[in-house]
Amino acid sequence: MSILKGAAVIGQSGGPSSVINASAYGAIKTALESDAITRVFGMCNGIKGILEDNLMDMSKEDPEELAFMKYTPSSALGSCRYKLKDPDEDETDYIRILEIFKKYDIRYFFYNGGNDSMDTCNKISKFMLRNGYECRCMGIPKTIDNDLAGTDHCPGFASAAKYIATSVMEVYRDSTVYDTGMITIIECMGRHAGWLTAAAALANYKGRGADLIYLPEVDFDLAKFTAKVKEIYAAKKKCLVVVSEGIHDKDGTFIAEYANKNMAKDSFGHAQLGGLAAYLANYIKGETGAKVRGIELSLLQRCAAHCASQTDIDESFMAGEAAVVNAVNGITDKMVGFEREYVNGQYKCNVKLFDLTIVANTEKKVPLEWINKDGDGVEQGFIDYCLPLIQGQTKLTYVDGLPRFVELKKVKAEA
Ligand code: F6P
């Protein structure tokens, strides 16, 4: 194999996570240390940074400061939700990307994100292949939604899952203190996949958790839900419910849309969900007259670096590192993913490569056998799957009792 010499560019895209920077750091550090890679650039706000010729020179960062990326939440390079058009319809963006690649002699392209970002990575990869421009394109997975195809799990999921499980355990304690009774409804992210919401079941596994858990894999019936809540509340004077933002009725209408008919959409056509906990709380209050609280975990669940899983942090770093190592070794057009193995009963995570064509835009759902037959709870299979991923507490540095996060200089790159 001939060594491909040239610059590398790394971008982050889509909704962030508390460990996405661990992956970016894995890629940046490995690229800075590589003999084949001549320069390392960061994209300001994902692919928009390339389109707008807005790259940062990562070699200008202090290596010790850069290392704080591993424990800093959210996309330190900046993110975007920008859909590249089908190149058969409009090549404008691709021509511009190629122009910028040539300008900086970019031969390595790393894109860190979820389904939509893998779509971007796949399109760029295929365009470069078709146009004979030698450039190794690798996807580095990230999504709290855990819905990328192929891979056993996605960087970012476990930390958000750990936060949700912890929060449900804590809220359980708070929501049961009064003798006057209370109904609490917690809303988790995850769009069309229920992985994150299912993580609430880890609280039940520890003995005190949600009475009802609803995932988008199963149609939601408001009347059935109301009857269940009334029954539990009548018996226990409390009811704790965890719902996924993406639950929908049998016609496919999001329950969140019952409250907001004109939901904003991003450039990939995804509705900006949210507001479900408040809607359901209000509805259930009307039906029961009970004291009801709706809690939307919203951004808290995906930037809770203080509650991140060290396993997730280490695996995220490994994904970024593996993308660079594989690309330098001649691999292109792949996404780095994970495969789990049990060695003497111990969980082990191995890197596995997946075709970008397969992962782009495919959503992996929670298997139905991990959801109970009433569609309002989660089975042991999910607990067994999830537990190894949330092990270990983050080694975040604290200064003055507060977390120490990275501060990048973001020096603009010159050609
Ligand atoms: O990218 C995943 C995700 O966090 C989803 O769980 C959520 O629905 C969505 O992003 C929110 O997107 P935004 O940050 O654009 O509001």
pLDDT of residue 1: 65
Residue 70 has pLDDT above 90, yes or no: yes
Name the residue with tokens 């970012």. 156
Alpha-carbon gap, residue 274 to 256, rounded angstroms:
7
Please identify every residue annotated as catalytic: 145
Q: Which residues contact 114 (CB under 8 A, 6 or more apart)?
A: 14, 15, 141, 142, 143, 145, 147, 148, 154
| Sign of the torsion formed by the C-alpha atoms of 364, 166, 221 and 251 | negative
pLDDT of residue 260: 86
Alpha-carbon gap, residue 357 to 122, rounded angstroms:
6
Per DSSP, 180 falls in state: T
pLDDT in tens, 38-68: 999 999 999 999 999 999 999 999 999 999 9
Q: Which of 98-112, 291-305, 332-346, 354-368 has the lowest mean pLDDT?
A: 354-368
Pocket lining for ligand 1, CB < 6 angstroms:
14-15, 81, 114, 143-145, 189-191, 245, 266, 272-273, 302
From the CA of 15, how far away is ligand 1's center (Å)? 5
Report CA 172 to chain centroid distance, whole Å: 25
pLDDT of residue 361: 74
Question: On the CB side of 123, how many CA atoms lie within 13 Å of its CA?
Answer: 21
**Protein residue with its CA nearest to atom 9 in ligand 1:** 15
The closest alpha carbon to 275, from 251, 303, 240, 247, belongs to 247
pLDDT in tens, 286-312: 999 999 999 999 999 999 999 999 999
From the CA of 356, how far away is ligand 1's center (Å)? 21
Residue 217 has pLDDT above 70, yes or no: yes
φ/ψ (deg, to 5) at 353: -100, 140
Give the pTM: 0.97
| pLDDT band at residue 267 using 50, 70 and 90 as cut-offs | confident
| pLDDT band at residue 271 using 50, 70 and 90 as cut-offs | confident
| pLDDT band at residue 407 using 50, 70 and 90 as cut-offs | very high
Strands (E), 249-382: 292-296, 334-343, 346-355
With contact defined as beta carbons under 8 Å apart, do 309 and 395 qualify? no
What would the mean pLDDT of 68-83 be, rounded to a whole number? Answer: 97
Q: What is the rounded average pLDDT for all residues in the chain? A: 97
Name the residue with tokens 């603009």. 412
Alpha-carbon gap, residue 351 to 23, rounded angstroms:
13
Q: How many CB atoms lie within 10 A of CB 126?
A: 17
